[in-house]
Amino acid sequence: MEMLSIFYSWLFPTILILSVSCLFIYTLCPTNSPHPPSPQKLPIIGNLHQLQGKSRHKTLWKLSQKHGPVMLLHFGSKPFLVISSSSMAKEVLKTHDHLLCTRPIFQGTKRLTYNYLDIAFSPHDDHWREMRKVLVSEFLGPKRAKLFSHVTKMEISDMIQSLSLHPSNTAVNLDNKFLALTNAIIGKVAFGKSYREEPFKGASLKEMIDEAMVMLGDSFGDNFPIFGWILDEIGGRNRRIEVCFNNIDDYIQRILNEHIDNIAEETNDSEKDFVHALLELRSNKNTCDGSQLTKDDMKALILDVFLGGIDSTVVTMVWAMSEIVKNSRVMQKLQAEIRRCVGTKPELDGSDITKMTYLKMVLKETLRLHPPAPLLIPHECISHCQIGGYDVFPGTGVFINAWAIAREPDTWGLNPTEFYPERFETLEVDYVAKHFEMVPFGGGRRTCPGYNSALGTIEFTLANLLYWFDWEVPDGVKNENLNMEEDGSLVVRKKTPLCLVPIKKYWQDLK
């Protein structure tokens, strides 16, 4: 009897020690085929130590140089596949797109998207399909194209006017100008007016967007489901998510309230914006599957427009102007094209832009070198498949490193980091590519639905800025020495604000 009780008192600790040892040995051993290659991981934290405090897309790119274009990493207990070549991106975004097109669940995204009612972060299901259709038909489609073009023209004309009145030889903060411009365009088409002057609860628009981008990333709780939530609680992340959600929710609620009041006053058709369209769909039970949009569905859609539409467009404009100014040769060639296409007309119009082939190459080169979301939005595997001959199992997250793919020497030659728009004269590469040589807008079912609209706004803005002004870096700094450091993780922006001196050119002088 005594022997038996001694045996039992040793049994539990022995099993515990054996299990922990096995786990330790297993995690230190390189994984066997057909699992993808994996950098050596540590017990419990997996590969997180290799990523902490560093720029994630660059670190993953460096690891891929050693371990290959398909790697398996562990963020705590969560497995993530990392894709770093165009051929592997094609397997994920085309061949097996149907099996890899859902999204991982993160605490921050769950809260900010009204429990996954949005498009960008929600799982691949019927609700996502329905919401995407509503966004495309009511905001991005032909119904709103005329309004988009009218509002864009007006807002850019205002911006050019205000730049013309800027004291000579002083720098303008173009980050602020582009944010104000994009917010005004999207705000007017989506919400009927720009709400930027009226920050709510003390947070400015920029602060709200920046904070949301941080909160949409993964947290301790996501990577360590058993105990991570305690760290999020103690570290204050859960509180930050709540504050961020409340700020955004108040902002969106105010937009909705004003529209509900307007409907009561009977808005005429020409004044109707995206939010009016959503309210009509809600009252008519008019979505394609006949279901009714809930209030939270509408809020989540407004969030997609607000977060998806504004930030990445602004970030791209900033990178484009930075590269153009840094590369004087490109700036001069581009200005010559723009000024030749427009001639001496008093203003640019859309038909001028279609003739500007070099402008399109410059923008493509910008999005190749600076994809605003360098790892896209993470995908997740729904069902077992093989990528590059390796097994991928359900629940595995997938990062597609657009930044690394756009630097592959096989496609981009020996100087892939050089800003050289002329490379597109001979390379037939497009944004939503057949061969996935560059994927700044993702691909497959999850391709960015707003890319055409964003490109149109950016092209028109750049053409105007370069038609009306020459640009210089202030304080005697040479243009080629412009600081190009990056900052951020989900969205990677220029670290320091882009401040440039506009030098007015009068169109009458341009003959």
Whether 223 contacts 77, CB under 8 Å: yes
Region binding ligand HEM by CB under 6 A among candidate stretches 18-26, 291-299, 434-442, 474-482: 434-442
Whether residue 440 is preceded by a cis peptide bond, meaning omega within 30 degrees of 0, is: no
What is the amino acid identity at position 291? S
Among 313, 322, 327, 461, binds ligand HEM (CB under 6 A): 313
In the complex, what is the shortest distance from the CB of residue 56 to ligand HEM, in angstroms, rounded to a whole number? 15
In the complex, what is the shortest distance from the CB of residue 148 to ligand HEM, in angstroms, rounded to a whole number? 10
With binding defined as CB under 6 A, does residue 492 bind ligand HEM?
A: no
Whether 381 contacts 399, CB under 8 Å: no
Whether 385 contacts 91, CB under 8 Å: no
User: From the CA atom positions of the chain, what is the Rg in Å?
Assistant: 25
Among 72, 92, 99, 120, binds ligand HEM (CB under 6 A): 120
With binding defined as CB under 6 A, does residue 275 bind ligand HEM?
A: no
CA angle 317, 319, 324 (to 5 degrees): 95
With binding defined as CB under 6 A, does residue 183 bind ligand HEM?
A: no
Beta-carbon contacts of 337 under 8 Å, excluding residues fewer than 6 positions away, are 356, 357, 358, 359
Distances (CA, A) of 78 to 82, 93, 453: 13, 21, 35
H/E segment holding residue 461: helix 451-468
Beta-carbon contacts of 26 under 8 Å, excluding residues fewer than 6 positions away, are none
With binding defined as CB under 6 A, does residue 397 bind ligand HEM?
A: no
Among 308, 388, 397, 502, binds ligand HEM (CB under 6 A): 308
Nearer to ligand HEM, 399 or 419 (CB): 399
With binding defined as CB under 6 A, does residue 304 bind ligand HEM?
A: yes
Q: How far apart are CA 490 and CA 328, in angstroms?
A: 30
With binding defined as CB under 6 A, does residue 377 bind ligand HEM?
A: yes
Nearer to ligand HEM, 99 or 120 (CB): 120
With binding defined as CB under 6 A, does residue 152 bind ligand HEM?
A: no
H/E segment holding residue 350: helix 350-354
Whether 492 contacts 372, CB under 8 Å: yes
With binding defined as CB under 6 A, does residue 305 bind ligand HEM?
A: yes
With binding defined as CB under 6 A, does residue 370 bind ligand HEM?
A: no
By CB under 6 A, how many residues form the interface with ligand HEM?
26
Residues of the binding site for heme: 448
With binding defined as CB under 6 A, does residue 132 bind ligand HEM?
A: yes
Among 228, 449, 488, 502, binds ligand HEM (CB under 6 A): 449
Q: How far apart are CA 452 and CA 444, in angstroms?
A: 16
Where in 405-424 is the site for ligand HEM (CB under 6 A)?
A: none
In the complex, the residues that contact ligand HEM under the rule CB under 6 A are: 119-120, 132, 135, 304-305, 308-309, 312-313, 316, 372-373, 376-377, 440-443, 446, 448-451, 453-454
